[in-house]
A and B are shown apart, each in its own frame.
Chain A
Amino acid sequence: MSAFSAIGDEREIEQDEYTPGIEPQPTWCPGCGDFGVLKALKGALPEAGRTPDETLTVTGIGCSGKLNSYFNSYGFHTIHGRALPVARAAKLANPGLEVIAAGGDGDGYGIGGNHFMHTARENHDFTYIVFNNEIFGLTKGQTSPTSPKGHKSKTQPHGSAKEPVRPLSLSLTSGASFVARTAAVNPNQAKELIKEAIEHDGFAHIDFLTQCPTWNKDAKQYVPYIDVNENDDYEFDPTNREEAAEMMRETEEALYEGEVLTGKFYVDEDRPSYQQEKRQIGEMPEEPLAERYFDDDYEWERSADMFLDDHK
């Protein structure tokens, strides 16, 4: 019998289960795009059939890192840039968990960029939501890795000399098998994309445009947006890597010209997830490792029986 009865629980899930019993008061500013992520995630998880006790949200640092403070699931509010490695191990140790990692653009594309690249490369089976507001918000408005070239801030008084990170292209090149962009002003699309990301077997990356009304007033509210999967002006096949790459490039250019393109850009349903790959080569047990520590009947192996003969 599983020690984790919440995992795989087939019961009906109420829409408000992810809202804490006492409604916390978020520290986000009025009009912040982060509310949009919270709402979309609260909507997507019940639709994907997952309960709060089988869900682990792992966040980084910044306004985005507080996502799980206002969300009723297991949570781990880690440190700046390190949500992904914590999330990876949690999913390896107990693959039955629904793991959602989240953080900001500085967290994911800056300080945690190395982890982002490698998590995508390995194709870990979980969802990663990056709150992209093109600014460091919580530390009061410094230029971030996605701020446009020329962006002025107190730490870049003459305007940034750097080209911004291209998150969708980076994700695709690194190996993510699901890449999407949505915006806080488009809650239905956001919910649908998150749901699809949750159901995807592999690393699903969502670049979530979240307007910062306090520190990034210059940036648009990410309206009007265009859904590239729906709009007839854009024809591409998200299962075709080359077409996806071209669409991403166009989308990333367009953002800095005031055009907000969103949608599902790439999906590869055939690529095995890291967990599948690891099981394939015999480096991961079929039964979740976490279960073993609660199994009183498990006969734990001893070094004396397994290794000492080689030393005699």
Chain B
Amino acid sequence: MTDDELIWRIAGGSGDGIASTSQNFAKALMRSGLDVFTHRHYPSRIRGGHTYTEVRAAPEDVTSRGDGYDFLLALGDSFARNPQEEAYYGKEEIKPLSENLDDLREGGVIVYDSGLIDADEVPKFDQRVEENNWHVFPLDLRGLAREKGREVMRNTAGVGATCAIADIPVEAIEELMTDAMPEKILDPNLEILNEAYEAVLDDYDLSGIEVSCPEGEHEEEQVLVNGSDGIAYGAFDEGCRFISGYPMTPWTEVFTILSKNLPEVGGISEQVEDEIAAASLAIGAAHTGVKAMSGSSGGGFALMSEPLGLAEISETPIVLLEAARAGPSTGMPTKPEQADLEHVLYTSQGDSNRVVFAPADPAEAYDHARKAFQIAYQYQIPSIILYDQKLSGEYRNVPASHFDRDPNPDIGKTLTEDQIAEAPHEPGGKLKRFRHDPEDGVSPRSVPGQKGGRFLASGNEHNEAGHISEDPDNRVAQVNRRTRKLESIREELNEDGLNETYGPEDADYGILAFGSMVGTVEEAVDRLNADGESVKALAVGELAPYPETEVREFIESVDQAMVVEMNSSAQFRGLTQKHLGEYGPKLSSLLKYNGNPFEPAEVVEGFHNTVSGEETTDHQTTFVPAAGD
């Protein structure tokens, strides 16, 4: 897979248009028939700072970032701090070039903006270029952009140069620009694109460069979407028309998409004073019969703990998102981590009564969002989607047909006024909304405004009509009924197959992963099997209720299994052992918590450690062997 691919990295400062340029580039390659995958890295800062996005393109399915990359477009950081002096943060002006050299593959290409970056200031630059056989193109991109248009258009100049060097038809970019850009800026951009393209072809001998863009073909129309799009559109198609939130990276991305789109269809978006209010508003809307969602990231989700418990005991159907980032506390706001797993599973007092989904990619994000709403409303329970900064902004191509499905506005077991008239009421006149007897645990509800449906919803333990009750028999009946819902949900989810195995069924070794690491693990499995190893993976998509049967079968079918996750305390392995303790001696751990997601090669190396049983720490990943060895 590594031979027939292009991994292009565009680097610059935040606010320099890196994200939009890379997105357009990825879309152009997708339209040309390639599968694409983007990986972004950015600082918690409005302007400036080291930022890059990688676009990986290949004719076959791409499920992960690669190991390193082969084409650098270093654009210069127009908001670099302290440009003239030594500073605590180092010399920021040259960072788009200097910070990206470590991962550049041998024989790779460097295009840098000589108008903004002085390569002489990069330590040992010439030496490294020679040692690694890099092809370097110092181009005055800024100068060209200034001359033909505006300085910000230097991104376009860089893309033009990329096309020339990597053998990408410049028409593909032209077409996309024509679709995406307003007329006023389109002409100068087109001119700059072509000028840069021609200049490289005229001025450089490109023979000997092995980096080039492959060709591919799709069988059907594709769309370029990220995890946040997937979740937002899944919610939308389930009839979610109410969202409440408070801005926090990276959850803000879903909040932004729905805040833009909901009012267009008569939906409501509410930006409120804090996350406690945000989750409470979702409860208030859901209680009134509307399909509602809220969400946040680590610290904001912590504030939702108490309303989450209220939704559990009052059996109010809501969907909450947790877009995890590196913690604790503020941690690293723009870096991915999977260390909020235990937080999401156990936060809020009392026995938890919730469902937790963990989609692996944008297409699954759509599917899980739909399932999360279905489960929440069918079973009157909070559903949580746990994802992370990586999946949130990671673009992949998905067949457009994936989204071509019927909407489902069903709000679950809700009585009509006619049904209310027939339903059991307590002698005081209130509807028995929390009956003890439903076998699947779900007691049909009424909605305020319906005639005869009065009941009391409560955060206190309550009797069948909702009145506060500390009667022991009632308590046991209510707890048991709410717990029965989880059993019903487990059965339903088992049938839906949210957990997927990957690789040869009869493999000797296994890898367990959840959420955004799944794609990387799949690529590692492919490579290992291609190298003669015998490995398969299980991607767990439902974290609560935990899919014990499927995971047991998987672990039993292999000699050893490695659990891969982005945190330092092996939370997913701990969860697995909590449910399947007897398999502890078969489980090893591969951990990473440096702020960057795993590369496939790191998983491959971790696997070799599993086989050899060596404990290693290379400062970037940590391998913990199985206790049984």
Interface residue ranges, A against B (CB under 8 Å): 3-7, 9, 20-22, 24, 52-54, 56, 58, 61, 66, 68-69, 72-79, 82, 84-90, 92-94, 96-97, 114-115, 117-118, 278, 282-285, 287, 289-290, 292-294, 298, 300-304, 306-308, 311-312
Question: Once the chains bind, are A79 and B307 in contact (CB under 8 Å)?
Answer: yes
- B460 within 8 A of partner (CB): yes
- B289 within 8 A of partner (CB): yes
How many B residues are at the interface, by size bracket?
Answer: 35 or more
Question: Once the chains bind, are B310 and A79 in contact (CB under 8 Å)?
Answer: yes
Of the candidates B222, B263, B411, B459, which one forms a contact with A282 in the assembled complex, judged by CB atoms under 8 Å apart? B263
Chain B residues, CB < 8 A from A282: 263
> How far is A37 from B266 in the complex, measured between Cα atoms in Å?
37
> How far is A85 from B492 in the complex, measured between Cα atoms in Å?
33
Chain B residues, CB < 8 A from A293: 239, 289-291, 409, 411
Question: Once the chains bind, are B223 and A114 in contact (CB under 8 Å)?
Answer: no
Chain B residues, CB < 8 A from A20: 428-430
Chain B residues, CB < 8 A from A289: 241-242, 266-268, 285, 290
- B456 within 8 A of partner (CB): yes
> How far is A75 from B281 in the complex, measured between Cα atoms in Å?
16
Of the candidates B223, B307, B310, B405, which one forms a contact with A312 in the assembled complex, judged by CB atoms under 8 Å apart? B223
Question: Once the chains bind, are B449 and A4 in contact (CB under 8 Å)?
Answer: yes
Nearest-Cβ distance from residue A220 to partner chain B, whole angstroms:
31
Question: Once the chains bind, are A53 and B460 in contact (CB under 8 Å)?
Answer: no
Chain A residues, CB < 8 A from B460: 77
Nearest-Cβ distance from residue B285 to partner chain A, whole angstroms:
4
Task: Name the CB-closest residue of A to B226.
Answer: A311
Given contacts A4-B450, A66-B468, A290-B290, contact A89 B407 (CB under 8 A): no
Question: Once the chains bind, are B273 and A118 in contact (CB under 8 Å)?
Answer: yes
- B284 within 8 A of partner (CB): yes
- B225 within 8 A of partner (CB): yes
> How far is A78 from B623 in the complex, measured between Cα atoms in Å?
46
Task: Name the CB-closest residue of A to B266.
Answer: A285
Given contacts A97-B288, A290-B447, contact A303 B403 (CB under 8 A): yes
Could you list some 27 contacts between A and B, CB below 8 A?
A3-B416, A6-B450, A9-B451, A56-B288, A58-B284, A72-B430, A76-B458, A78-B283, A78-B459, A84-B277, A86-B280, A88-B270, A89-B284, A90-B287, A93-B242, A93-B290, A93-B292, A285-B266, A287-B266, A289-B241, A289-B266, A290-B289, A294-B416, A301-B407, A308-B400, A308-B403, A312-B222
- B501 within 8 A of partner (CB): no
- B453 within 8 A of partner (CB): yes
Task: Name the CB-closest residue of A to B221.
Answer: A312
> How far is A86 from B286 in the complex, measured between Cα atoms in Å?
10
Given contacts A7-B449, A94-B449, contact A300 B266 (CB under 8 A): no
> What 12 additional pairs, Cβ within 8 angstroms, besides A6-B450, A75-B455?
A72-B428, A74-B453, A77-B456, A79-B310, A79-B459, A85-B272, A88-B284, A283-B263, A283-B268, A306-B261, A307-B236, A312-B223
Question: Once the chains bind, are B448 and A94 in contact (CB under 8 Å)?
Answer: yes
Question: Once the chains bind, are A90 and B284 in contact (CB under 8 Å)?
Answer: yes
Question: Once the chains bind, are A82 and B457 in contact (CB under 8 Å)?
Answer: no
Nearest-Cβ distance from residue A49 to partner chain B, whole angstroms:
15
Scoring B221, B261, B280, B456 by chain A CB atoms within 10 A of each residue's CB, the highest score goes to: B280
> How far is A37 from B370 in the complex, measured between Cα atoms in Å?
44
Question: Once the chains bind, are A92 and B450 in contact (CB under 8 Å)?
Answer: no
Q: Which of B223-244 contact A (CB under 8 A)?
A: 223-225, 229, 232-234, 236-237, 239, 241-242, 244
Question: Once the chains bind, are B273 and A97 in contact (CB under 8 Å)?
Answer: no
Nearest-Cβ distance from residue A109 to partner chain B, whole angstroms:
15
Interface 1/0s, chain B 400-438, versus A by CB < 8 A? Answer: 100111110101000011000000000111100000000
> How far is A117 from B273 in the complex, measured between Cα atoms in Å?
9
Chain A residues, CB < 8 A from B314: 76
If over half of B's interface residues share one DSSP class (helix, strand or loop), that class is named, otherwise mixed; here it is mixed
> How far is A312 from B30 in the complex, measured between Cα atoms in Å?
9
Question: Once the chains bind, are B427 and A21 in contact (CB under 8 Å)?
Answer: yes
Pairs of residues from A and B, 9 with the lowest C-beta to C-beta distance, nearest first: A89-B284, A4-B449, A285-B266, A85-B280, A303-B233, A311-B223, A86-B284, A89-B281, A300-B407
Chain B residues, CB < 8 A from A7: 449
- B269 within 8 A of partner (CB): yes
Nearest-Cβ distance from residue A232 to partner chain B, whole angstroms:
42
Interface 1/0s, chain B 245-280, versus A by CB < 8 A? Answer: 000000000000000010111111110111011101
Question: Once the chains bind, are B429 and A118 in contact (CB under 8 Å)?
Answer: no
Of the candidates A61, A97, A292, A302, which one forms a contact with B448 in the assembled complex, judged by CB atoms under 8 Å apart? A97
Given contacts A3-B450, A293-B291, contact A24 B428 (CB under 8 A): yes
Given contacts A77-B457, A289-B290, contact A72 B429 (CB under 8 A): yes
Nearest-Cβ distance from residue B391 to partner chain A, whole angstroms:
16
- B467 within 8 A of partner (CB): yes
> How far is A3 from B233 in the complex, measured between Cα atoms in Å?
27
Nearest-Cβ distance from residue B388 to partner chain A, whole angstroms:
22
Nearest-Cβ distance from residue B19 to partner chain A, whole angstroms:
15
Task: Name the CB-closest residue of A to B229.
Answer: A311
- B68 within 8 A of partner (CB): no
Chain B residues, CB < 8 A from A115: 273, 276-277
Question: Once the chains bind, are A76 and B287 in contact (CB under 8 Å)?
Answer: yes
Nearest-Cβ distance from residue B407 to partner chain A, whole angstroms:
4
Nearest-Cβ distance from residue A218 to partner chain B, whole angstroms:
30
> How far is A82 from B283 in the complex, measured between Cα atoms in Å?
11
Question: Once the chains bind, are A53 and B241 in contact (CB under 8 Å)?
Answer: no
Given contacts A289-B267, A293-B409, A302-B237, contact A90 B404 (CB under 8 A): no
Question: Once the chains bind, are A82 and B430 in contact (CB under 8 Å)?
Answer: no
- B215 within 8 A of partner (CB): no
> How far is A86 from B273 in the complex, measured between Cα atoms in Å?
13
Of the candidates A21, A58, A79, A90, which one forms a contact with B306 in the assembled complex, judged by CB atoms under 8 Å apart? A79
Chain B residues, CB < 8 A from A292: 241, 266, 409
Task: Name the CB-closest residue of A to B277.
Answer: A85
> How far is A274 from B525 in the complex, measured between Cα atoms in Å?
55
Question: Once the chains bind, are B448 and A90 in contact (CB under 8 Å)?
Answer: yes
Question: Once the chains bind, are A85 and B281 in contact (CB under 8 Å)?
Answer: yes
Question: Once the chains bind, are B288 and A94 in contact (CB under 8 Å)?
Answer: yes
Task: Name the CB-closest residue of B to A295.
Answer: B409
- B466 within 8 A of partner (CB): yes
Chain A residues, CB < 8 A from B292: 89, 93
Task: Name the CB-closest residue of B to A89.
Answer: B284
Chain B residues, CB < 8 A from A304: 237, 400, 403-405
> How far is A93 from B240 in the complex, measured between Cα atoms in Å?
12
Given contacts A69-B467, A93-B285, A115-B273, contact A300 B409 (CB under 8 A): yes
Question: Once the chains bind, are B451 and A53 in contact (CB under 8 Å)?
Answer: yes
Question: Once the chains bind, are B242 and A89 in contact (CB under 8 Å)?
Answer: yes
